Amino acid sequence: MINQKRAMPFNPPSLDEVSEYIKNKGFQVDPQQFLDFYESKGWMVGKNKMKDWRAAVRTWQRRNQPVSYVPRPLRLCQADCGKPASRYCSGNFGAFCSRECRMKTLGW
């Protein structure tokens, strides 16, 4: 006999359930906005019925967080001319700002 898991039918949460979950997790999601959004869509995610509203709240929280962007440091020309390096890079030869700097430095 195969043990089959039966999926529990989805029951939309109340405003109190969503509010309590958000408060307990310390999230910055507006529970009324969350509830209104999914009620307007019939608790559908794309073309599928929602299975776990708590997972949807966690996704809303993640999307509300600002994306941290750390720019990479600027690579300077290896010829010590002070200009930023550009496309004139060639593997082990380093990065240069121009073809002229590259040729001058490598003695070509």
pLDDT at 58: 96
| Tens digits of pLDDT across the chain (108 residues) | 555 666 678 899 999 999 999 999 999 999 999 999 999 999 999 999 999 999 999 999 999 877 777 677 667 777 777 777 765 555 555 677 777 777 777 776
- pLDDT, tens only, 77-86: 777 777 777 6
User: 8: which 2 tokens?
Assistant: 């529990």
Q: Is residue 8 part of a domain?
A: no
Distance, in Å, from the CA atom of 47 to the CA atom of 63, rounded to the nearest integer, reads: 21
pLDDT at 82: 73
Q: Which domain holds residue 44?
A: 15-64
Give the chain's domain count: 2
pLDDT at 103: 74
Global pTM value: 0.57
Pinpoint the alpha helices (H) of 1-108: 15-25, 31-40, 53-64, 99-106
Tokens 């507006």 belong to residue: 30
Same structural domain for residues 90 and 50? no
Distance, in Å, from the CA atom of 93 to the CA atom of 77, rounded to the nearest integer, reads: 11
Same structural domain for residues 59 and 95? no
Could you give the angle at the alpha carbon of 33 between the alpha carbons of 41 and 56, nearest 5°? 65
